[in-house]
Amino acid sequence: MPLRTLYRLILIIPLFSPFLLLASNLTDHIKHNDQTVTIFYQTPMVKSEREITYRWLSTVSSALRNVYGEFPKDYFTITIKHNSNRTGPVPWGHVERSRPNNVFLIINPELGFDALINDWTLYHEFAHLLIPYQGHGDKWFSEGLATYYQNIIQMRAGFFDKTQMWKRIIAGFKRGKNQQRRDHVNLTDVSKRMRETRQFMRIHWSGVLYWLNIDVELRKQNKGTLDSALKQLKACCESRSMSARAIALKLDQLTGTIIFTSLFDEYRLTYQIPDYDSILSDLGVNQYPETGEIYFNDRAPLSKIRKQLSVNPALTEKAVKL
């Protein structure tokens, strides 16, 4: 065989190798109007597991649109790493604040679609995309938003009902209240050293309480909703990288209020999770102490707002147009 022919074969053969053919198929896409989510699979999966994974990602992506009718980013990516660990369907997830933002997930699709769809992790990580957070400083702010909306999104999508959502939120507040080993350290500092202090529940659930109060106050003042404020934030600042307080300030500007920054400055200096019983009572959310079951008081002053929180705003807008 002439050397020139042999050289050409050496160049051509890798192009048809099974590895490269497989690698070219390690991506999927989810589209909504002009928005695109690209999925990268770090490792190959058998066909059935790939189908389960894509169905799960598509379903939760659709649920994410229950916040304000579209994805919080016009383009972002998801990186999937397969893991056969049977401790849970999604043992790890985090958001990489790169350009574009990337949601990294370690999953075990062998546990099935139901296990994946009922796991909270993906809802939480997707909810992080609702703000252009720089990725450090005042983590209670971003973790609180993600935890608040993971519950809102699951409930609005019908994965559990309003009673279950409030039961989870109350349980979270109690966990935050019980985690007081660092009650001499304020929320800003305990968040800054989160891995060291291990005050995850206090950090997350103080943040949830912040965002719940924000959502309620906006509605009380007829200044829109947290959903609509975040949609405005996407329109102006999607590609930016902002500190927590800069985001709060921008949200104040967008809503014509001082709600976000005034409450932000108050919360960041707290030494324990603030009182949550008052707002729950005003919303008409109560819990039987004997059984832990939730019941609602429709005569409570903010019961109407409580009901509004469960409504998909995109559906409301369609109804108004009709």
Report residue 313's pLDDT band, with 50, 70 and 90 as the boundaries.
confident
Residue type, 30: I
The pTM of the whole model exceeds 0.85: yes
> How does residue 314 score in pLDDT terms, banded at 50, 70 and 90?
low
- Bridge partners of 107? 82
Residue 15's pLDDT is what?
Answer: 37
pLDDT(66) > 60? yes
CA–CA distances in Å: residue 158 to residues 22, 128, 162, 283: 36, 21, 9, 21
pLDDT at residue 17 in the model: 36
At a CB cut-off of 8 Å and minimum separation 6, what does 225 contact?
215, 218, 219, 308, 313
pLDDT at 3 exceeding the cut of 50: no
Number of H helices and number of E strands within the chain? 16, 7
Residues in a beta bridge with 286: 295
DSSP state of 92: E
Instruction: Name the least confident of 79-93, 216-230, 245-259.
Output: 79-93
What is the model's pLDDT at position 315? Answer: 61
Asked whether the predicted pLDDT for residue 7 surpasses 50, the reply is no
Condensed to tens digits (0 to 9), the pLDDT of residues 257-303 reads: 999 999 999 999 999 999 999 999 999 999 999 999 999 999 999 99
Average pLDDT estimate for 95-120: 97
pLDDT at 16 over 60: no
What's the longest Cα–Cα distance across the chain?
91
The CA radius of gyration of the chain, in Å to the nearest whole number, is: 22
Distance CA 158, CA 312 (A): 11
Can you name the residues that pair with 105 across neighbouring β-strands?
80, 93
Which pLDDT belongs to residue 316? 56
Q: Which residue has the higher pLDDT, 59 or 180?
A: 59
Q: Two tokens at 215?
A: 């959502």
Give tens-digit pLDDT for 187-220: 999 999 888 888 999 999 999 999 999 999 999 9
Q: Does domain 9-128 have CATH number 3.30.2010?
A: yes
Range(s) for CATH 3.30.2010 in the chain? 9-128
Q: What's the chain's average pLDDT?
A: 91
Q: pLDDT tier at 44 (50, 70, 90 boundaries)? A: confident
- On the CB side of 95, CA atoms within 13 Å amount to 25
Of 29-33, 73-77, 255-259, 309-313, the one with minimum mean pLDDT is 309-313
Q: Which residues pair with 295 in a beta bridge?
A: 286
Q: Is the pLDDT assigned to residue 23 strictly greater than 90?
A: no
Of the chain, the percentage scoring pLDDT greater than 90 comes to 82
Q: How confident is the model at residue 43, as a pLDDT? A: 87
The secondary structure of 10-47 as a DSSP string is HHHGGGG-HHHHHHTTSEEEEEETTEEEEEEESS---H
Q: Residue 58's pLDDT is what?
A: 98
Does 9 have pLDDT greater than 70? Answer: no
pLDDT for position 20: 33
Question: What does the alpha-carbon distance between residue 49 and residue 56 come to, in Å, rounded to a whole number?
Answer: 10
